[in-house]
A and B are shown apart, each in its own frame.
Chain A
């Protein structure tokens, strides 16, 4: 599975990083989302999906999803 962030929508709540720090980080300048792994390992799939659902801005999605 792959995930993507829309940085025009991300406002740096960092809920993704809280929930799944293996996949999502934040940058040091604006505090916006940084995707840390191109491919999300199967073992982290559920956690990464939960992080996506917790974004208050709807700035994250699973690639292939619209």
Chain B
């Protein structure tokens, strides 16, 4: 956390590359935590810099370097990257393992998350979205985060993993503590609880498999047909739990916040409700501008990259949102153009660890937009009573988004 004490940087970091920056610290009153990145750009800092905050780490701000961080796993590893360092931390499968080993679990997950597999989930997703939106539509107001954005992806996770639907509140609570708690004791307990839930469920699935995601992991084998280590299977379940819930929730929070404040954007989604291509380009642009994730990498060895000395085990933060606003790649990057023709954003990462759930995430957002606008064609931000609860860290967002509309 920021404070008067400014920790020293290691010797290999030249003073001109040291910046005091804490991506967990959201100044009081700031409603949009992504602003702390944009404020950084306004300070005109080096685009590869080091901050001693949160255990000390590098930050890449240019698109080309963020892409290099994703693709060049010989330099930038995904193994053991938590910031601030957290020990012990599970080696999440396959996200926390470098190629080619990451392919053992990637191979199990990939067929279940292809565009073909996700399209087959369309009816399930649509009916879930409708069930959530219909009662809200009649009410004339809601808190978009707690009434919708948390419930849809978490409910879908329960469906894919074949957990009982009644366990939704339990999973919401586990997920909220995991992402927001800063109390080490509570974090430790929370991690134990998550693993206990996964262990019980995946054990049952290994005994009695069905055609669901949990069974696919629990009964996973390597290419020779040998069962995979149980610890890795649990860690893969853990990845699905942490990667697919909070990210979609907060991305949707940002998207609906923007829509509520922007009549032309609402008109766009009403106008193109039946036009798949226009819907998709609109969603890609909203994903570009509202990228909420900051990914971490760890240096594999001592090396010089772009004239900068890095040391083995140095951490690097890759802020997708800033890469997505690089003027050398995106025309008028800060302008939101829903019909932007060329949009190679890195919101889902690039390279071998491209977000395996990206097609599910996009489908959840698309179906939510269609079903929402069909029932709530116009809406606006409602006055808030308390703080917006903005938070930084690996996933940025806010805890509340009150909306209202005429019934």
Chain A residues within CB distance 8 Å of chain B: 11-15, 17-19, 26-31, 50, 53-57
Complex contact B358–A13 (CB within 8 A) = yes
Ranked nearest first, the 4 interchain pairs of A and B with the lowest CB-CB distance are A31-B114, A11-B354, A56-B344, A14-B115
Cα–Cα, bound, A56→B348 (Å): 10
Docked complex Cα distance between A14 and B110 (Å): 13
17 example contacts (A-B, Cβ-Cβ < 8 A) are as follows A11-B351, A11-B352, A12-B110, A12-B114, A17-B115, A26-B114, A27-B116, A28-B117, A29-B111, A30-B114, A31-B359, A50-B341, A54-B343, A56-B344, A56-B346, A57-B350, A57-B351
Identify which of residues 284-343 in chain B touch chain A, using a CB-to-CB cut-off of 8 Å. Answer: 284, 341-343
Residue of B113, B115, B344 near A54 (CB, 8 A) is B344
Contacts of A53 in B (CB 8 A): 341-342
Kindly list chain B residues whose C-beta atoms are within 8 Å of the C-beta of A26.
114-116
In angstroms, Cα B192 to Cα A56, docked, is: 38
Residues in A whose Cβ lies below 8 Å from that of B343: 54
Query: In angstroms, how far is the closest chain A Cβ from the Cβ of B229?
Result: 23
Is B277 an interface residue, CB under 8 A from the partner?
yes
Return chain B residues, CB-CB under 8 Å to A30: 110-111, 114
Q: Is B280 an interface residue (CB 8 A)?
A: yes
The CA-CA distance from A26 to B144 in the complex, in Å, is 34
Chain A residue nearest in CB terms to B358? A13
> B53 within 8 Å of A by Cβ?
no
CA distance A42 to B334 in the complex (A): 35
Within 8 Å of chain A (Cβ to Cβ): is B345?
yes
B116 touches A31 (CB 8 A): yes
Q: List the A side residues contacting B348 at CB < 8 Å.
A: 13
Q: Please, which residue of chain A has its CB at the minimum distance from the CB of B352?
A: A11
Known: A13-B358, A50-B342, A55-B344. A31 touches B113 (CB 8 A): yes
Asked whether, in the complex, the Cβ of B346 is within 8 Å of the Cβ of A28, the reply is no
Cβ-defined partner of A19 (8 Å) among B117, B277, B350, B354: B277
- Chain B residues close to A by CB (< 8 Å): 110-111, 113-117, 277, 280, 284, 341-346, 348, 350-352, 354, 358-359
Pairwise interchain contact A54-B354, C-beta atoms closer than 8 A: no
- Which of A13, A29, A50 is B354 in contact with, Cβ under 8 Å? A13
Chain B residues in 8 Å Cβ range of A55? 344
Distance in angstroms from A33 CB to nearest chain B CB is: 11
CA distance A53 to B344 in the complex (A): 8
A19 to chain B, nearest CB (A): 7
Beyond A29-B114, A31-B116: 13 further Cβ-contacts under 8 Å? A11-B350, A14-B115, A15-B284, A18-B277, A18-B280, A26-B114, A29-B111, A31-B110, A31-B113, A50-B342, A53-B342, A54-B343, A56-B344
B388 smallest CB distance to A (angstroms): 32
Q: Which residues in A have their C-beta under 8 angstroms from that of B280?
A: 18-19
CA distance A56 to B111 in the complex (A): 21
Give, as a whole number of angstroms, the nearest-CB distance from B337 to chain A: 14
Complex CA distance for A17 and B111, rounded to whole angstroms: 17
A31 to B358, CA, bound (A): 11
Q: Which residues of B contact A29 (CB under 8 A)?
A: 110-111, 114
Assembled-state Cα–Cα distance A9/B26 (Å): 38
B346 CB, min distance to chain A CBs, angstroms: 7
B209 CB, min distance to chain A CBs, angstroms: 20
Most chain A beta carbons < 10 A, residue from B116, B277, B280, B343:
B116
